[in-house]
Amino acid sequence: MSDLTEFPIAEIGRNLRARKFTARDLTDAAIANHDSRGEALGAYKLWQADAARDAADAADALFRVGADLGPFQGVPVSVKDLFAVNGLPTFAGSPNRLPPAFERQGPVVDALRGQQAVITGKTHTVEFAYGGAGVNNHWGSPRNPWDANDHRVSGGSSSGAGVSLCEGSALIALGSDTAGSVRVPASVTGNVGLKVTHGRWSLAGITPLSPALDTPGVLARTVADTTVAFGEIDRKASTGALLSATESASLDGLRIGICDDIFWQDCSPGIVEGVRQALDELTEVGARLVPLELPEAEEVFGLFRRGGIVSAEFKSFLEDELPEWEATLDSVVSARMESAADITAIEFVRRCRLMARCSATAAGRLRTVDCVVTPSVSITPPKLAEVSDVDGYMPRNMMMLRNTSIGNLLSLCALTMPVALDAGAMPVGMQVLMPAGAEEKLLAVAGAMERKLGTGRERLGAPPLCA
Question: Which residues are part of the catalytic machinery?
Answer: 80, 157, 181
d(CA 110, CA 391) in angstroms, rounded, equals 40
d(CA 191, CA 87) in angstroms, rounded, equals 29
Counting every residue written for the chain, the total comes to 467
375 pairs with which residues across the strands? Answer: 430
d(CA 161, CA 176) in angstroms, rounded, equals 10
d(CA 264, CA 257) in angstroms, rounded, equals 13
d(CA 182, CA 133) in angstroms, rounded, equals 12
Alpha-carbon separation of residue 17 from 116, 142, 203, 231, 241 (angstroms): 14, 35, 32, 19, 21
Determine the distance from the C-alpha atom of residue 279 to the mean position of all C-alpha atoms in its chain, rounded to a whole number.
22
219 pairs with which residues across the strands? Answer: 173, 193
d(CA 411, CA 361) in angstroms, rounded, equals 11
Nearest to 278 by CA among 75, 150, 139, 417: 417
For 276, residues 6+ apart whose C-beta sits below 8 A from its C-beta are: none
d(CA 218, CA 232) in angstroms, rounded, equals 11
DSSP 83: B
